Chains A and B, each alone.
Chain A
Amino acid sequence: MGKFVPANLTVGAKIRIGLLMFALVLPFFPFVTDYLLHIIILIYLYMILALGLNIVPGFNGLLDLGYVGFYGIGAYTSGLLTYHFGLSYWVIIPLAFINGAIWGILLGAPTLRLTGDYFAIVTFGFSELVVLFLTNEIWLTRGPLGLPGIDVVSIDLTLFGGPKWEFVGELPYYYLAIAMVLVTVFVMHRIQDSRLGRAWFAIRDDEVAAVSCGINLLAYKVIAFAISAAFGAVGGSFFARWVTFLSPDMFKFWESFLILCMIVLGGLGNIWGVMIGAVILVSMSEILREVLPVLGLPVEVRFLAFGLIMVLMMRYRPAGMMPIAAVAAQMRAGRKKRRRTKATVGMQK
């Protein structure tokens, strides 16, 4: 086996390739049921969403509470275009991406001048308005009844005289989701190491210093917000074609909170950490979904655990399980300062 792995790969790269291989053959293990496959696809979906959201709080240090708004916009873009015009999913992905980005710019351009708190609350209001719109504009979205019967994804080669292959069951979606996660991770890595990414990190670490280096704060933040929104919308477009049913309830604030929880747990700004956060929280959510009814509690109670996780993480490991050095330093800064002042006071005595 060792022959096939080039010797110059680092341990980390080997682990990643191994994980990818494992993910690719996973559906063929005998213990993997359709239900389990469904949950793993859900994990992949949340990985895409969490990676998208990560750009704003993780790379830019801004709290975005309205991410689910873009997820909803993407899902309904995909659902409605399929429902009314029968567009192919491969056309819808870029359209959803663009639509998400447009809304991101529309919301971000006027509001990204604000500081963290105000920005957070504006994004929250935005996502609530999106849900209200989806619920009330019945002529467009069928409102609370939901949008059923969205076509499944298909690969249509009839134009070239080939066959038309429809995605039936979970297996094709599994590989589609893996492909989308891979593309997302690739894009995130490239952005992280680009001029754009470096500018974002500078903004996150010190806005004043960033401005003095000639970084246009507003422009870079709007770009970040738009890209983040676009990935949310792409996640939504996949969701719509995968579950083939949409209803406004699916895009409540809790979803935003859950995704935020993932990136906080995994490590703000850390691509791998964020993905692990998605794995842990989706699995935990599913386990609790099974366990809670046994204990006689409503399923919503699982958010109790998520709330507690957030509070405890912020208290004891504010930079997450896989911290990024810069974020960890920032989170520690306050405490250190306090210790230092105490020390100097002691010396003066």
Chain B
Amino acid sequence: MFLQQLVNGLTIGGIYAMIAVGYTMIYGVIQLINFAHGEIYMLGAFFAITFISVLGLPFYAAFPLAMACCAVCGVLLDVIAYRPLRKSPRLAALITAIGMSIFLQNLAMVIWGSRPKPFPHGTLPVYFEKTAVSFGGVNLSWFHIFIYCLTIVMMVGLNLIIKKTRWGKAMRAVAQNKTMAALAGINVNRVISYTFLLAGALGGAAGIMTGAFYNKIEPTMGYIAGVKAFAAAVLGGIGSVPGAMLGGVVLGVAEAFGAGYLSSLYRDGISYAVMIAVIILIPAGLFGRVLKETKKSM
């Protein structure tokens, strides 16, 4: 029981972490809660299912292709919706973000219908269902292992990009101070686009994995996952990438244990409660720097 919950929690937590990283990176560079990020995640799953069922691609080909599409969607989202509002008050940008989220969700409903969809039968790799490891009454399927490995690879890759490349350096510079970064010759808008590209790809990957894990894809899936991932980003300290990773995993495990031992009815409530508690008690999160803005009001 305990171990099974832990296994499930880590799986979901890894997925939350991948979405949360997107929130935190975007918040880092443009100080905007990108409410539409959950929608990118949902689109990822729908792109994958479309590539598989319409184009007949195998799962492993559809996966990176859908990720790429999500990355492009992320950039388009920024260019079309957020870039014109860069200098506007935050209220305007925030309302736009919510508007885009609702727009995309309903667009998906128009295109793919509002009923939950499964992956077409037999298109998921066969060994996903098979048990890989079995210990102490816990069955760890290959799919769990696939998700763990992919999460770890992507997180390590992302960290390397941020820490080691010129591109990552530019991102960190923009996050610290946009004006100074621009003075140092960084094309700020392009760096922001890169950030949306990375965030979109990771969000899309998370969406595909969730869709395949539950074998159920629906237009509203991005909404709750998005909020939970945001809660994870807040828990880790918004703006901090390692924080978002840890926050996602912690939240996933907390949710699995909460649902298992306390009340499965309040499964979603756990994330909201954690989020509200963290924001009120430690607004800087586990790893975050204390944001100037957080303290401004009082």
Cα-based distance from A54 to B231 in the complex (angstroms): 27
- Name the interface residues of A273-328: CB closer than 8 Å to any CB of B: 297-298, 300-301, 303-304, 306-311, 314-315, 318
| Least CB distance, B94 to chain A, in whole angstroms | 6
Residue-wise, chain B 226-238 has the 8 Å CB interface mask toward A (1 for contact) of: 0100110010000
Chain B residue numbers with a CB within 8 Å of A334 are: 86-89
Q: A115-B293, A307-B101 are in contact. Are A129 and B88 (CB under 8 A)?
A: no
Which 8 A/B pairs are nearest by Cβ-Cβ distance? A334-B87, A310-B99, A307-B103, A307-B102, A304-B106, A125-B272, A311-B99, A136-B265
- Name the interface residues of A65-120: CB closer than 8 Å to any CB of B: 65, 110-118, 120
**Shortest Cβ distance from B224 into A: residue:** A128
Chain A residue numbers with a CB within 8 Å of B91 are: 57, 61, 63, 116
Residue-wise, chain A 244-283 has the 8 Å CB interface mask toward B (1 for contact) of: 0000000001100100100010000000000000000000
Whether the Cβ atoms of A300 and B114 lie closer than 8 Å is yes
Q: A117-B94, A318-B88, A331-B89 are in contact. Are A122 and B114 (CB under 8 A)?
A: no
| Least CB distance, A189 to chain B, in whole angstroms | 24
- Name the interface residues of B224-264: CB closer than 8 Å to any CB of A: 227, 230-231, 234, 263
One of B100, B269, B293, B297 near A311 (C-beta < 8 A): B100
Chain A residue numbers with a CB within 8 Å of B95 are: 63, 260, 264, 310, 314
Question: Is A217's CB within 8 Å of the partner chain B?
Answer: yes
| Least CB distance, A56 to chain B, in whole angstroms | 11
Chain B residue numbers with a CB within 8 Å of A304 are: 102-103, 106-107, 109-110
Question: Is B134's CB within 8 Å of the partner chain A?
Answer: no
Extra contacts, 18 of them, besides A128-B227, A135-B265, A314-B88 (Cβ < 8 A), are A63-B94, A63-B95, A115-B294, A117-B90, A120-B33, A124-B227, A126-B276, A128-B269, A218-B298, A298-B113, A298-B114, A301-B110, A304-B109, A307-B100, A310-B96, A314-B85, A318-B92, A335-B87
Number of interface residues of A (CB under 8 A): 54
Whether the Cβ atoms of A297 and B96 lie closer than 8 Å is no
| Least CB distance, A335 to chain B, in whole angstroms | 6
- Name the interface residues of B77-131: CB closer than 8 Å to any CB of A: 81, 84-96, 98-107, 109-110, 113-114
Question: Is B164's CB within 8 Å of the partner chain A?
Answer: no
**Shortest Cβ distance from B85 into A: residue:** A314
Whether the Cβ atoms of B33 and A132 lie closer than 8 Å is no
Dominant SS at the A interface? helix
| Least CB distance, B112 to chain A, in whole angstroms | 11
Question: Is B60's CB within 8 Å of the partner chain A?
Answer: no
Interface residues on B, range: 35 or more
Whether the Cβ atoms of A307 and B280 lie closer than 8 Å is no
Chain A residue numbers with a CB within 8 Å of B283 are: 114, 118
Question: Is B279's CB within 8 Å of the partner chain A?
Answer: yes
Q: A57-B91, A63-B91, A132-B266 are in contact. Are A297 and B110 (CB under 8 A)?
A: yes
Chain A residue numbers with a CB within 8 Å of B223 are: 253
| Least CB distance, A262 to chain B, in whole angstroms | 12
Chain A residue numbers with a CB within 8 Å of B100 are: 307, 311
Whether the Cβ atoms of A113 and B272 lie closer than 8 Å is no
Cα-based distance from A129 to B231 in the complex (angstroms): 14
Chain A residue numbers with a CB within 8 Å of B102 are: 254, 257, 303-304, 306-307, 310
| Least CB distance, B117 to chain A, in whole angstroms | 14
Chain B residue numbers with a CB within 8 Å of A65 are: 98
Question: Is A195's CB within 8 Å of the partner chain B?
Answer: no
Question: Is B273's CB within 8 Å of the partner chain A?
Answer: yes
Q: A61-B91, A63-B94, A308-B103 are in contact. Are A315 and B85 (CB under 8 A)?
A: yes
